[in-house]
């Protein structure tokens, strides 16, 4: 945690392994100096390898900001732009990874090479098999408990029907319970139990301008709309850009179901950097991990940002795993803190009247 916000360590071993084919001259960087790096992460090795013509794609705002602070260009390719080299750090979630393989091939120039790296414990074997199924012959190397694999596909070797199918896996979809979501988001195909517990304890008199921090696909926001008629305006803050469209759809459905015309804004925003305006109430199921690493300081950063943004009589409602040590910070930042529920390993806490 720093004044500038929160960032987690990059996946150093996967990045180091991604560099191995270039370090050993198995592969060569393109003479044009152009590449697109999907799900890029800032790292010493990336800064050593990257050239001015590289473009980094990253949908998680803290990581995107970190790349920009390192002097790397961040964004999406223009129009039909293609690259002689496309790099990828696939996620563990298989549908999301398959969609990324399809997108990567969309932007690969004829004769270009796609290179991906994954930890073996995160599904590297499956990722390599999927790329081979999609693009044909794949080369690979293992190091640092990771696997790097690549292809320079012939155009007629790519299974275009499968590519279309996999590309569509990233589109927002309705889950079995009727929520708009997409693979790879937190609890993407279900209602998270902790969030459901928090929503069950929303007080009916919650009103004024309200914010949902770390909104995900918008479940808590929909419950605020359904349960709290006194809300005058609602802001959703979410750092993962892929969650924004599902959140907008779910909120629109909730407004329609409730017959309400409520100002609602969905923001791509890093909550740990503070909030841009004041609120009468804030709700949150704050994240406490990135990947598999527990990072309770991330949840504490959400609490700090909430306390700083609440009006003098404002209140914060959060849910957390019962073991997370938030009480001391809450007591330091709020005049009145009480536990509303303890159930199934989760606790719901209400904090009122923030201290300066």
**What is residue 9's predicted lDDT score, i.e. its pLDDT?**
53
**What is residue 356's predicted lDDT score, i.e. its pLDDT?**
81
Question: Exposure string (b/e) for 135-160, b if CB count within 10 Å is 16 or more?
Answer: beebebeeebebbbbbbbbeeeebee
Segment 59-77 shows an average pLDDT of: 95
**What is residue 287's predicted lDDT score, i.e. its pLDDT?**
86
- 185 φ/ψ angles, rounded to the nearest 5 degrees: -75, 160
Between vectors from CA 188 to CA 104 and to CA 318, what angle results, nearest 5°?
A: 130
pLDDT surpassing 80 at residue 6: no
- Of the pLDDT bands very low, low, confident and very high (cuts 50, 70, 90), residue 45 is confident
- Of the pLDDT bands very low, low, confident and very high (cuts 50, 70, 90), residue 5 is very low
pLDDT surpassing 50 at residue 98: yes
**What is residue 2's predicted lDDT score, i.e. its pLDDT?**
34
Q: What is the mean pLDDT of the chain?
A: 93
**What is residue 202's predicted lDDT score, i.e. its pLDDT?**
98
Give the pLDDT confidence of 15-26 residue by residue, as tens digits. 999 999 999 999
Superfamily assignment of 12-170 in CATH?
A: Vaccinia Virus protein VP39 (3.40.50.150)
**What is residue 296's predicted lDDT score, i.e. its pLDDT?**
75
**What is residue 4's predicted lDDT score, i.e. its pLDDT?**
40
Whether 12-170 shares its CATH topology with 173-354 is answered yes
**What is residue 289's predicted lDDT score, i.e. its pLDDT?**
58
Give the pLDDT confidence of 288-328 residue by residue, as tens digits. 755 555 567 889 999 999 999 999 999 999 999 998 889 99
**What is residue 288's predicted lDDT score, i.e. its pLDDT?**
75
Report the percentage of the chain scoring pLDDT > 70.
95
- 276 φ/ψ angles, rounded to the nearest 5 degrees: -85, -10
What is the rounded CA–CA span in Å between residue 193 and residue 259?
27
Of the two residues 151 and 12, the one the predictor is more confident about is: 151
What is the rounded CA–CA span in Å between residue 40 and residue 151?
19
End-to-end CA distance of the chain: 20
Q: For strands 83-88 and 108-119, give the pairing.
A: parallel
**What is residue 47's predicted lDDT score, i.e. its pLDDT?**
87
> pTM for the whole thing?
0.93
Secondary structure of the chain as H, E, C letters: CECCECCCCCCHHHHHHHHHHHHCCCCCCCCCCEEEEECCCCCHHHHHHCCCEEEEECCEHHHHHHHHHCCCCECCCCCCCCEEEEEECCCCCHHHHHHHHHHHHHCEEEEEEEEEEEEHHHCHHHHHHHHHHHHCCCEEEEECCEEEEEECCCHHHCCHHHHHHHHHHHCCEECCCCCEECCCCCCCCCCCHHHHHHHHCCCCCCCEEEEEECCCCCHHHHHHHHHCCCEEEEEEEECEHHHHHHHHHHHHHHHHHHCCCCCEEEEECCHHHCCCCCEEEEEECCCCEECCEECHHHHHHHHHHHHHHEEEEEEEEEEEECCCCCHHHHHHHEEEEEEEEEECCEEEEEEEEECC
Segment 104-127 shows an average pLDDT of: 96
pLDDT surpassing 60 at residue 1: no
- 263 φ/ψ angles, rounded to the nearest 5 degrees: -65, 120
**Domain definitions of the chain by residue range:** 12-170, 173-354
pLDDT surpassing 60 at residue 36: yes
Segment 175-196 shows an average pLDDT of: 95
Give bridge partners of residue 276 from the DSSP assignment.
none
- Closest alpha carbon to 5 in 44, 80, 61: 61
Give bridge partners of residue 141 from the DSSP assignment.
148
**Ordered strands of the 208-213 beta sheet:** 264-268, 231-238, 208-213, 279-284, 310-321, 346-354, 334-343
Give the pLDDT confidence of 273-287 residue by residue, as tens digits. 999 999 999 999 998
What is the topology classification, in CATH, of domain 173-354? Rossmann fold (3.40.50)
Segment 217-225 shows an average pLDDT of: 98
């Amino acid at each position: 945690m720093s004044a500038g916000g929160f960032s987690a360590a990059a996946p150093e071993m996967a990045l180091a392994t991604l560099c191995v084919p270039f370090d050993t001259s198995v592969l060569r960087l393109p003479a044009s100096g152009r590449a697109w790096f999907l799900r890029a992460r800032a790292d010493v090795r990336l800064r050593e390898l990257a050239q001015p013509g590289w473009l980094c794609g990253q949908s998680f705002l803290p990581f995107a900001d970190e790349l920009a602070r390192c002097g790397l260009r961040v964004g999406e390719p223009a129009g039909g732009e293609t690259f002689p080299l496309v790099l990828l750090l696939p996620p563990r979630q298989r549908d999301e990874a398959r969609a990324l393989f399809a997108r990567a091939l969309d932007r690969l120039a004829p004769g270009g090479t796609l290179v991906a790296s994954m930890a073996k414990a995160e599904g590297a074997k499956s990722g390599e098999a999927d790329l081979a199924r999609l693009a044909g012959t794949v080369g690979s190397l293992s190091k640092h408990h990771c696997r790097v694999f690549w292809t320079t596909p012939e155009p007629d070797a790519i299974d275009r029907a499968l590519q279309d199918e996999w590309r569509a896996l990233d589109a927002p979809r309705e889950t079995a319970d009727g929520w708009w979501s997409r693979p790879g988001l937190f609890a993407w195909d279900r209602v998270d139990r902790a969030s459901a517990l928090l929503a069950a304890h929303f007080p009916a008199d919650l009103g004024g301008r309200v914010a949902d921090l770390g909104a995900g696909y918008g479940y808590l926001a929909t419950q605020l709309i359904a349960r709290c008629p006194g809300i005058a305006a609602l802001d959703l803050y979410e750092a993962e850009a892929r969650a924004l469209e599902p959140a907008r759809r779910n909120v629109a459905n909730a407004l329609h179901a409730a017959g309400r015309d409520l100002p609602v804004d969905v923001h791509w925003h890093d909550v740990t950097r503070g909030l841009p305006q004041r609120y009468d109430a804030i709700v949150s199921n704050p994240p406490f991990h990135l990947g598999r690493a527990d990072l309770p300081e991330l949840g504490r950063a959400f609490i700090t940002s909430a306390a700083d943004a609440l009006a003098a009589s404002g209140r914060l409602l959060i849910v957390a795993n019962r073991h997370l040590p938030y009480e001391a910070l809450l007591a330091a930042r709020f005049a009145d803190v009480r536990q509303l529920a303890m159930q199934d390993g989760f606790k719901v806490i209400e904090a009122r009247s923030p201290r300066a």
